[in-house]
Amino acid sequence: AKILCLNGPNLNLLGSREPTTYGRETLASIGSTLSASAEAAGHELQMVQSNAEHALIDAIHQAGADGVAYILFNPAAFTHTSIALRDALLAVSIPFIEVHLSNVHARESFRAHSYFSDIAEGVISGLGAQGYSLALAAALHRLDGPP
């Protein structure tokens, strides 16, 4: 099946961006790990990042048109602001897991609210880049059942 890993603003700077909060691993490196795992399980993972809300909305619409089965989504700062991205996910009704590298509950209070958590299948926050791998493992489990 097709799996989309969708990433919001400033995540293109992973590796150099606030490394004590977000770690040293780049998004490209996370993407190659995820793609390899998805491929090994007989699936196909596409990595998308944009700093623009409309581009993320378009990517979700495209995922609907392409029959994407599962989305791993780190909406980044749009987590806390975007009703439009929430509505896009509801519109395509593709199951998704919300991922954050940092523990959003251990930071500024404005990061504690998410426009996605109540409609996500699950939320992973605070486990760094490993959170993406854990989210993929959960998605594969839901798509295929236990290995």
| Residue 82 in contact with ligand DQA, rule: CB under 6 A | no
Given the complex with ligand DQA, which of 35 and 82 has the nearer CB atom?
82
Catalytic residue, from 70, 100, 115, 132: name it.
100
| Residue 101 in contact with ligand DQA, rule: CB under 6 A | yes
| Residue 47 in contact with ligand DQA, rule: CB under 6 A | no
61 is catalytic: no
Q: Are 70 and 94 in contact (CB under 8 A)?
A: yes
Contacts of 64 (CB under 8 A, 6+ apart): 91, 92, 94
Instruction: Give the integer Cα–Cα distance in Å for 125 and 118.
Output: 14
22 is catalytic: yes
Q: Is 80 annotated as a binding residue?
A: yes
Q: Which residue has the tokens 């404005």?
A: 110
Among 1, 2, 10, 62, binds ligand DQA (CB under 6 A): 10
Among 34, 68, 71, 76, binds ligand DQA (CB under 6 A): 76
Q: b/e string for 55-68 if b means 16 or more Cβ within 10 A?
A: ebbebbeebeeeeb
Q: What are phi and psi of 124, to 5 degrees?
A: -120, 125
**Contacting positions for ligand DQA (CB under 6 A):** 10, 74, 76-77, 79, 100-102, 104, 111
| Residues classed as catalytic | 22, 100
